[in-house]
Structures are given as structure tokens and as C-alpha cells.
Amino acid sequence: MDLPGPIHEILVLFLGFVLLLGGLGLVLLTNPIYSAFSLGLVLVCISLFYFLLNSYFVAVAQLLIYVGAINVLIIFAVMFVNGSEWSKDKNYWTIGDGFTSLVCITIVFSRMTTIPDTSWYGILWTTRSNQIVEQGLINNVQ
């Protein structure tokens, strides 16, 4: 969307924050129905992200397909197999859970430090060179 600069930034930050909350709720909530609704929140948030990125068709397609069909199907399946009865016992974190948490946090920090530092300019230049080659071929044909 062609919003003014600060509103765009604020919306991106807000949506990212809600997205993180929804993702954490999806992973950490014990009741499967709560995590299914949290998945719905994540899907709606990403659809709003797509609106901000000027890709309107994918945003509406995502709203219709993901939220309207897949989320409903998941909630239907969770209610069909009596999902909320399986969460009555408290689940304690095992040592394996702690280890996977450590590994995942390490992956997050390594990605957050390496992605801004890589030079995407090299990749950009290869895609640009493909387009230059295509332009040359088209000019030769004509």
C-alpha cells in the first residue's frame, strides 16, 4: 500500500509483534483449540502483511484459502477427535524440550546476525544479468 512512511513502519512493527505472540501461543498453549485459533491469528496477520507489500491477490487468496478453509478444517478435526480432552494433564518440560529450545534459540540468533550481513548485492546482480541477457536476445530477434 502507498501509506506514508511512519504509518507503514508502525504497522509492520505492530503486525510483527502480534505475529510473534500468535506464534508463541501456537507452540506453547496446551489446549489444541486455543492453538488452532492462534494459528488463525497468525494467518490473518500474515495476510495483512501481504496487503502492506502491495500483493493484493495473494493476500485475499490467503484469507480465503488459509483462514476460510484450512483453519476451519483444522478446528473441525480438533473438535472431531475431542482434542480438548487430551490437554487435561499438565505437560512438564523434559530435558529434550530444553535442548531443542536451546538449539532453536541458537538458530534464531545466528540467522538474525548473518542475514543483515550477507551481501545480497551479488544475488541481485545475477538476476539483473539474466534480464540483461533476455533483453539482448529480444533485441537480436527483432
**32 part of the interface to another protein, by CB under 8 A:** yes
**124 part of the interface to another protein, by CB under 8 A:** yes
**62 part of the interface to another protein, by CB under 8 A:** yes
Min dist CB 7 to another protein, Å, is: 18
Segment interacting with another protein (CB under 8 A) among 1-9, 20-28, 132-140: 20-28
Neighbouring CB atoms inside 10 A of 114's CB total 9
Determine contact, residues 22/38, Cβ cutoff 8 Å. yes
**97 part of the interface to another protein, by CB under 8 A:** yes
**3 part of the interface to another protein, by CB under 8 A:** no
Q: How far apart are CA 22 and CA 25, in angstroms?
A: 5
Segment interacting with another protein (CB under 8 A) among 2-10, 94-102, 134-142: 94-102
Nearest to 47 by CA among 38, 36, 57, 37: 57
What's the full length of the chain, in residues? 142
Determine contact, residues 86/32, Cβ cutoff 8 Å. yes
Neighbouring CB atoms inside 10 A of 90's CB total 6
**73 part of the interface to another protein, by CB under 8 A:** yes
Alpha-carbon separation of residue 134 from 122, 127, 130 (angstroms): 19, 11, 6
Binding site for another protein (CB under 8 A): 19-20, 23-24, 26-28, 32, 35-36, 39, 42-43, 46, 49-50, 53-55, 57-58, 61-62, 65-66, 69-70, 73-74, 77-78, 80-81, 83, 86, 91, 97, 100-101, 104, 107-108, 111, 124, 127
